[in-house]
């Protein structure tokens, strides 16, 4: 009878030790996994910005009246069409430090800046269009697109004019 109790005590002890070890492993591994996921999301966001830049330039080069549809998937972060400064901005907060903190970094034609707010890094990817007048739905109102499980369908069109208006709208 005494041996049965000892077996149960050993089983519970080994189970608790296993749970503690699993907890310790997850404590150290999960932040690294989240950091790698954030790095992948930043790279994906840079690709989205490159795609948008390519379409904006293509629409401009093809002439007035040209229009393209682009599907933009934003899993995390925000895409801003800033009509005041004529720029596209992507902002993302995560656990990955993409570049030196508070230092401007250029990759291709994009300006990238990383700032730190506690343990969280804020990455800002910006592309300015000084030779275009960016608009949203034919007006100078800025638009912010947040994370979504489905892609946004953006229409980018060349409205022409003296200010070279490039208009964004959503379907």
Q: Give per-residue pLDDT as tens, 92-143.
A: 999 899 889 999 988 888 999 999 998 899 999 999 998 889 999 988 889 9
d(CA 9, CA 4): 9
Range of the domain at 145: 2-170
Burial of 72: CB neighbours in 10 Å, binned 0-12, 13-18, 19+: middle
50-67 residue pLDDT tens: 999 999 999 999 888 899
Q: What percent of the chain has pLDDT over 70?
A: 98
| Centroid of chain to Cα 98 | 12
Burial of 122: CB neighbours in 10 Å, binned 0-12, 13-18, 19+: middle
Give the pLDDT of residue 10.
86
132 is written with which tokens? Answer: 């275009």
Beta-bridge partner residues of 105: 112
Tell me how many domains the chain contains: 1
Q: Give the Å distances, CA to CA, from 39 to 34, 102, 106, 108.
A: 9, 18, 17, 18
Q: Where does residue 114 fall: left (phi above 0), alpha (psi -120 to 50 degrees), or beta otherwise?
A: beta
């Amino acid at each position: 009878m005494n041996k049965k109790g000892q077996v149960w005590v050993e089983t519970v002890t080994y189970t608790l030790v296993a749970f503690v070890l699993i907890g310790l492993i997850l404590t150290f591994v999960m932040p690294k996994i989240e950091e790698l996921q954030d790095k992948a999301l930043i790279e994906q966001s840079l690709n989205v910005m490159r795609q948008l830049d390519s379409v904006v330039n293509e629409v401009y080069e093809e002439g007035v009246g040209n229009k393209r549809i682009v599907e933009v998937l934003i899993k995390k972060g925000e895409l801003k069409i800033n009509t005041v400064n004529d720029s596209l901005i992507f902002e993302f907060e995560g656990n990955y430090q993409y570049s030196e903190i508070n230092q401007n970094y250029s990759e291709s034609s994009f300006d990238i800046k990383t700032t730190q707010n506690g343990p969280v890094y804020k990455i800002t990817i910006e592309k300015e269009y000084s030779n275009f007048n960016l608009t949203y739905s034919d007006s100078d109102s800025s638009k912010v697109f947040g994370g979504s499980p489905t892609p946004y369908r953006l229409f980018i069109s060349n409205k022409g004019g003296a200010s070279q208006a490039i208009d964004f709208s959503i379907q």
